[in-house]
Every structure is written in C-alpha cells, then in structure tokens.
Amino acid sequence: MTATYRAMMIAKPGGPEVLQQVDLPVTEPGASELRVRVRACGVGATDFAMLAGSYAFAPKLPFVGGYEIAGVIEALGEGVTGFHVGQRVAALTVHGGFAERLVRGAEHFVPIPDEVSDVEAAAVILNYVSAWQMIHRAAKVQAGRSALVTGAGGGVGTALLQLLRLAGVKTYGAASSRKHGLIAKLGATPIDYQAGPVDRLIRASEPSGVDVAFDALGGANIGKCIRAVRRGGTVVGYGFMAVDGRLARARMFFDVFVGSRLRGRRGTFYGISLLYRKDRKPFLEDLPKILALIAHRKIKPVISAVFPLRDARKALELLATGTVEGKIVLTCD
C-alpha cells in the first residue's frame, strides 16, 4: 500500500475550477474507526454549495468534498466489531468522499450486498434515502394517493419517481420536455414547465389537486406547488441547505411553512444531513432497505455518467448544465 492517496481538495470558494488534486498521507484508523478504500463517490447539487463555501454542514476551508461513498474496508480501529477487512461498505460522509481513502467512525457505515455494485451503491446513498424518507417518514404517503415531483429528471427526482411507483402512488413529474421520456419510463406522467403554471397543468388532470408535492426548486415555484396540492394535503420542501445565503433559506422556510398553512395545506421541510446529525438511526435503517431493493431488482438507480476521480471538475461542470438525468458518480481505480 502506498503512503499517500489522491484527493480533490476545495482550497477556496468558487466553482468546479477551485478543485485541486492533492496527495494526502494515509493514516491508521483510531479507536472505533474504519479506514476505507473508496471505490465510488456520488456527485450532486450540494457539492456546488460546498464549493461556494455556503453549505452549513461543511468544515472550514480547505477540505475534501464528497457527500457519499462506497468502498472496501482496509483497516479496523481498536474496538470495532461487526465489520471485517475486505468488506464492502457505504456511508453518508457529507465531506471527505472525493478521495481514494477515508477514515471515519464505524458507526457511519452500512454493508453493501454482493448483488449491488459500488457505482449503484454510491448513486443511492443521498438521493434514494432522501426520497424514501420524504415519502415514508415526512409525508407518510399511502398507496392510491397522488403526488407531484418537481425537478423530476434529477437525482432525487428520479429516485422519488421510482419509489413512489413502488409505493403505489400516482405520480406527476415536472421537468423540461427533453426529460419526459425518462419520466414516463419511470412510471410517472410528465408535466412540462414551459406549457404553463404547474398548478394549472396538475388540476387539468386532478381537479382537487394532488395529495402531496415534493419541491426542491423553491422561489416563485413554491406558490404554484402549494396551489397544485389539495386542501389538507402536504408540501415537502427539500434541498434548502444547499440554497446560497441565510436570507434565501429563511425565505424558503417562510414560503413553505407559512404559505402552505395560509392556503390550508401542511408544509414541511426535509434535509438528510439535518436529520442525520440529530439521529443516525433512521438513515442506518433506511439505506439497507434501498440496497435490498436494488439487490432484488425492484429499482434501478438512474446513472447519467461515470467519471474517474481526477475528472471531478468535469463531472461538476456537466451537472451544472442542467441536462443530467439522474446521478453522476466518480470512481477510484
């Protein structure tokens, strides 16, 4: 084993151009820690907030980005039980994943089934657990209900579509027309943003409105989402911690909570990192459920592109174009 490993460091605020490839020393895991050789890492919208220096849960600069990883255990720290060297594991890292090695507490890791690839595992840790928890923990959507998903062609959006279909929910996916083929393939009815206000388009098919809306766009769009939901229904806002600026986040909170209640709906927010920091148990319960669904081929993560770690800048530049369907994953060879 080499004495150093490659990592993509965020040295200063900016865009993808500020990522720097660096060599860092390999360290031994401390008590109750694992050292993992990273094989795959997910790329997502939150990485832009990390780069800009506006993500609330990021460490101080400089630091290594990377929100989620799949890898193989290389070394066990003193006192670690339930894991073994050579075992494949996944974790929600929040940072540190854009690297060939990661040392983190053993309590953060979940075993990966043999039937699930490293790329598949890395693609679902953030997006699919977020979708699962919004559906089953936040909104508590039941079979036979109806739902609207905005940004339906993206990473979390495609995860929501698949898991809502699995739950027996009639779903409408709002996205640009070029992503409508994917949305239909995932079992949802496509809604074109450019064809008119989303609330009017929804009510043409659902006169009383849908039972729940999942919205990551915020801004002027949130009012339309609220109006697309029936009275007594639920609006779930997510991705708010990646919104740049405290004032913008506060406005989004106000729009969802107050705006929904003024119109007779229930507004709530979901943030996977916020929940994880309060209580890891829901995540550690839900990620194995998602991995089992993949292992049994009940769902298949939508993966748009796979890049080597050294091309993390290119991966983020592609994501910034808004054309990506599903997830981008980095791999370490």
In a structure prediction context, what are the per-residue pLDDT tens digits for the chain, which is 333 residues long?
Answer: 679 999 999 999 999 999 999 999 999 999 999 999 999 999 998 999 899 988 888 999 999 999 999 999 999 999 999 999 999 999 999 999 999 999 999 999 999 999 999 999 999 999 999 999 999 999 999 999 999 999 999 999 999 999 999 999 999 999 999 999 999 999 999 999 888 999 999 999 999 999 999 998 666 678 888 899 999 999 998 876 455 556 655 666 666 766 677 678 988 889 898 899 999 999 999 999 999 999 999 999 999 999 999 999 999 999 999 899 999 999 997
Q: How far is the C-alpha of 82 from the C-alpha of 308, rounded, in Å?
A: 31
Q: How far is the C-alpha of 310 from the C-alpha of 307, rounded, in Å?
A: 8
φ, ψ (nearest 5 deg) of residue 117: -75, 165
> Span 4-125+287-331: which CATH code?
3.90.180.10
Helix runs in the chain, H state only: 46-52, 118-124, 127-133, 155-166, 180-185, 198-205, 221-228, 246-262, 272-278, 281-295, 312-320
* C-alpha triplet 316, 328, 125: angle, nearest 5°: 115
Q: What's the pLDDT tens digit per position in 71-117? A: 999 999 999 999 999 999 999 999 999 999 999 999 999 999 999 99
Q: What's the pLDDT tens digit per position in 239-274? A: 764 555 566 556 666 667 666 776 789 888 898 988
φ, ψ (nearest 5 deg) of residue 188: -110, 165
pTM score of the predicted model: 0.93
Cβ–Cβ under 8 Å, residues 305 and 319: no
Burial class (CB in 10 A: 0-12, 13-18, 19+), 216: buried
Q: How far is the C-alpha of 125 from the C-alpha of 302, rounded, in Å?
A: 13
Read off the tokens for 330.
């980095």
Range list for CATH 3.40.50.720 in the chain: 127-270
DSSP designation for 58: -
Q: Dump strand ranges (E) for 77-156.
A: 88-92, 101-105, 109-111, 146-150
φ, ψ (nearest 5 deg) of residue 219: 60, -140
Range list for CATH 3.90.180.10 in the chain: 4-125+287-331
The tokens 């890492």 sit on which residue?
41
Q: Please count the CA atoms within 13 angstroms of the CA of 103 that sit on its side-chain side.
A: 14
- Find all residues with CB under 8 Å of 53, minimum gap 6, and list them: 13, 61
Q: What is the largest CA-CA distance in the chain?
A: 64
Read off the tokens for 4.
């150093």
- Topology of domain 127-270, per CATH? Rossmann fold (3.40.50)
What are the strands of the beta sheet with 210-215, ordered from one edge? 189-192, 170-175, 146-150, 210-215, 229-238, 266-270
Q: For strand 109-111 and strand 68-76, is the pairing parallel, antiparallel, or unpaired? A: unpaired
